[in-house]
Amino acid sequence: MTRIMGVLNVTPDSFSDGGRWASTDAAIAHGLELAQQGADIVDVGGESTRPGAERVPVPAELGRVLPVVRELAAAGIRVSIDTMNSETAAAALDAGAQIVNDVSGGLADPAMGPLVAERDVDYVAMHWRGHSRTMNDLARYTDAAREIREELFRRVDELERQGVARRRIIVDPGLGFAKNSEHNWDVLRHLREFESAGLPMLLGASRKRFLADLMWVGATPQDRDLPSAVIAALAARDGVWGVRVHDVVSTRIALDVVRSWSGSGDDDRMEP
């Protein structure tokens, strides 16, 4: 079954929701709502990774995410912490998070791999070439899907050398990170090759900029929820472990369609 990871950006500068959940109370309420809508995991992040975004100091990141993680975990929700900083990851795990979702795959902070190994927690390692400020300049490939796959699995090998158990690693091809539209679609066409190593895969296509090419002039990031849900359904048919999305409701319906189509049952269908 493909899991739904609901996005909770506790930031004032998110590209996807314009800082709607920047306050602690609003973020907690939205996290509870995501879970009620059917999110299996709520992914809490305090630093925007949109193209051009500047880094956030760790104390500011901690102030944004820790109260939210603590309250959601206390409510019985499975929480992941979206961070590149080992200090933030450690504090969030202490507050009840169960997964570390690191868009840098351990490259931004050399202490991240050893921390995850010590804590023995699930770890999402994403393909990454550089920080948001410079990543668009790094979107250069000859054979995008192959090169991204090779770079990602070299990171997996390094994480294992640092002591991270292979059974704890979830890979993410990093759509939109140091990739243009052509590169993103090439990755999606070759998803099964990313799964050939036998590791679970998280896919984050939701509201990404490359989907704007499919939309009308003036469409908002929220208008990209329909193609995001279609991609989630196609990815589920390819067997991905999870999809990271902003709109849980449309994704839940899309995945219910996939389950019904495949005959895998509908016992966990969302109630109207």
User: Active-site positions?
Assistant: 208, 244
Which residues lie across from 244 on neighbouring strands? Answer: 5
Asked if residue 256 lies in contact with residue 230, where contact means CB atoms within 8 angstroms, the answer is no
Q: In whole angstroms, give the CA distance from residue 107 to residue 113.
A: 9
Q: Measure CA 131 to chain center.
A: 16
In the β-sheet with 99-102, what is the strand arrangement from edge to edge? Answer: 169-172, 122-126, 99-102, 79-82, 41-45, 3-9, 242-245, 202-203
Angle in degrees, CA 159, 160, 164, rounded to 5: 80
Report H helices in the chain. 24-37, 58-74, 86-94, 112-119, 144-161, 181-189, 191-194, 225-237, 248-262
Q: In whole angstroms, give the CA distance from residue 197 to residue 193.
A: 8
**Parallel, antiparallel, or unpaired for β 79-82 and 41-45?**
parallel
How far is the CA of 269 from the CAs of 35, 92, 146, 264, in angstroms? 14, 31, 36, 12
Q: In whole angstroms, give the CA distance from residue 85 to residue 183.
A: 27
Asked if residue 114 lies in contact with residue 163, where contact means CB atoms within 8 angstroms, the answer is yes
